[in-house]
Amino acid sequence: MKQFFSFVKKEFYHVFRDSWTMVILLLMPVVQMILFGFAISTEIRNINVAIVAPEHDELTKMITDKLDAVDYFTVNGYFTSMEKLDEAFRQGDIDCAIIFGQAFEENLYSADGSSICLSVDASNSNTATTMAMYAQSIISDCIKELSPYVGAAGIAPDIKMLYNPQMKSSFNFVPGLMGLIIILICAMMTSVSIVREKEKGTMELLLVSPVKPLTIVISKMVPYMVMSFVNYLTILLLATTLLGVPVAGSFLTLSLLSLIYIITALALGLLISSATQSQLVAMIGSGMVLMIPVLFFSGLLFPVEGMPKVFQYFSWIVPARWYVTAAKKLMIQGLSFRYVLQEFIVLSSMAVLFITISLKSFKNRLS
């Protein structure tokens, strides 16, 4: 045990002496969380909208004021006819137009009803869908305020958004960002730990020492595990305070999940370190090999359920996929431990597998 703590102490010295390592470990996760947290967003704000209304009655004015009051829309023009509308679209002055029919409020309760047309710039189909959804929701709310029974078949539907009533994109992206940042930082740092011994010529001392390979491997993981857990607490604090993402479930369960995920990422980094001969190759390999699968197959950018079956099966071997899924259940949905038991088992199995392969690889170098 004394030898183990001596090796752990030596690794801590390696970490604290290298200023670049400290920057990557402590500063880079904070910068990544702030940049990605605000940059990656499906929310659309400041949509330039034009109002086409032959008559400005009370309901038309109410809808216009509501649109202008929210962050999503900026009323950028009033027209009484369609003549200048096409030119405004071509010039890029507006992104969306709401066209009211004649006597809009007066015809609301008539047999034929009122007519309203939503014209959207669909050169970007995803943006167009979101703009139309926002505008339709506001118009429906305004009409419902005036009469709660106006709508198809005389009934207005009551829509309830669970877990994320304000539809904030940060609720979806932050758990994915946590998974991305943790695995990249952990794997990149540990991937150079064994390679550094080779480049500095100290590997021979480890090979002839009486210390068991398991002790060497675990001792190299401990300092980075401690630092990575501090990173987890830091980015979780930023997520809750700066980005407004809640932790609706158990904080202890989330922390235990993150600790297992950290160990898995560290073990993966050690595996990469055992298979490479230079720190540069280890850093590039861990960064490039891990970033693409985590971005595309963890659910951070695209839902895994919408992918072809072959890619869904491939996502099973990506540790971040299981962590992100469980983190969303704990942070956003507020579910209990039994609902994330599968993710705990999978991540724990991956951690044991990676450590075992790293240990076997290290033993082969002893022979």
Kindly compute the dihedral angle of the four CA atoms of residues 49, 53, 57, 63, in this order, to the nearest 10 degrees: -20
Per-residue pLDDT tens digits for 75-98: 888 887 777 777 787 777 888 888
Res. 364: pLDDT tops 70: no
CA angle 11–17–23, rounded 5-degree value: 100
Mean pLDDT of the chain: 77
3-state secondary structure 41-87: CCCCCCEEEEEECCCCCHHHHHHHHHHHHCCCEEEEEEECCCCCHHH
Per-residue pLDDT tens digits for 138-164: 877 776 776 554 544 343 445 556 577
Per-residue pLDDT tens digits for 161-206: 657 777 677 777 888 888 888 888 888 777 776 677 666 666 556 6
Per-residue pLDDT tens digits for 15-66: 677 677 677 777 777 777 777 766 666 666 778 888 888 777 777 888 888 8
Res. 218: pLDDT tops 60: yes
Cβ atoms 101, 115 nearer than 8 A: yes
Helix, strand, coil shares of the chain, percent, nearest 5, are 65, 5, 30
Terminal Cα distance for the chain, rounded: 24
> CA-to-CA distance for 117 and 145, rounded, in angstroms?
20
CA angle 272–277–282, rounded 5-degree value: 40
Cβ atoms 24, 235 nearer than 8 A: no
Instruction: Give the residue among 120, 90, 108 at the shortest CA–CA distance from 145.
Output: 108
Tell me the mean pLDDT in the region 119-124: 74
Using CB atoms within 10 Å of the CB of residue 347, give its burial: 0 to 12 exposed, 13 to 18 middle, 19+ buried: buried
Per-residue pLDDT tens digits for 302-357: 778 778 889 889 989 999 999 999 998 899 888 889 889 999 999 999 999 988 88
Structure tokens at 141: 């709310």
The identity of residue 274, as a single letter, is S
Q: Residue 154: its pLDDT value, please?
A: 40
> CA-to-CA distance for 316 and 44, rounded, in angstroms?
32
> CA-to-CA distance for 55 and 61, rounded, in angstroms?
10
Question: How does DSSP assign 291-343, residue by residue?
Answer: HHHHHHHSSSSS-GGGS-HHHHHHHTT-HHHHHHHHHHHHHTS---GGGGHHH
Give the whole-number percent of the chain exceeding pLDDT 90.
11
CA angle 8–13–19, rounded 5-degree value: 135
Buried/exposed code over 152-189 (b: 16+ C-beta within 10 A; e: otherwise): eeeebeeeeeeeeeeebebbbbbbbbbbbbbbbbbbbb
Q: Residue 109: its pLDDT value, please?
A: 64
Structure tokens at 192: 């150079």
For the whole prediction, is pTM greater than 0.75?
no
The CATH architecture one would assign to domain 47-154 is 3-Layer(aba) Sandwich (3.40)
Q: Residue 257: its pLDDT value, please?
A: 94
Q: Which segments of the chain belong to CATH 3.40.1710.10?
A: 47-154
Confidence band for 102, pLDDT divided at 50, 70 and 90: confident
Q: Which residues pair with 36 in a beta bridge?
A: none
DSSP 24: I
Cβ atoms 262, 183 nearer than 8 A: no
Q: Residue 153: its pLDDT value, please?
A: 39
Cβ atoms 231, 29 nearer than 8 A: yes
Q: Residue 115: its pLDDT value, please?
A: 73
Per-residue pLDDT tens digits for 246-301: 888 899 999 999 999 999 988 888 787 777 777 777 777 777 777 788 888 888 77
**Residue position matching structure tokens 């990575």:** 228
**Residue position matching structure tokens 């047999």:** 111
